[in-house]
Amino acid sequence: MLPLRPAALVTLMRAAAGGGRRRAGGVRRRRDPPGVLHVPSLSSVPQVRRCSAPPQPVIAAKQPFPVELKAGKKYAWCACGHSGSQPFCDGTHKKVTPGISPLRFTPEEDKMAWLCGCKRTRSPP
Alpha carbon 123 to its chain centroid, in Å, reads: 23
Which of these, 110, 105, 104, lies nearest to 71 by C-alpha position? 110
Give the pLDDT band (50/70/90) at residue 46.
low
Kindly report the pTM of this predicted structure.
0.58
Any idea what DSSP says for residue 42? G
Please check whether residue 103 is in contact with residue 83, taking contact to mean a CB–CB distance below 8 angstroms.
no
In this predicted structure, the answer to whether residue 31 has a pLDDT above a threshold of 80 is no
In this predicted structure, the answer to whether residue 74 has a pLDDT above a threshold of 90 is yes
Alpha carbon 94 to its chain centroid, in Å, reads: 20
Give the pLDDT band (50/70/90) at residue 44.
low
Cross-strand partners of 76: 104
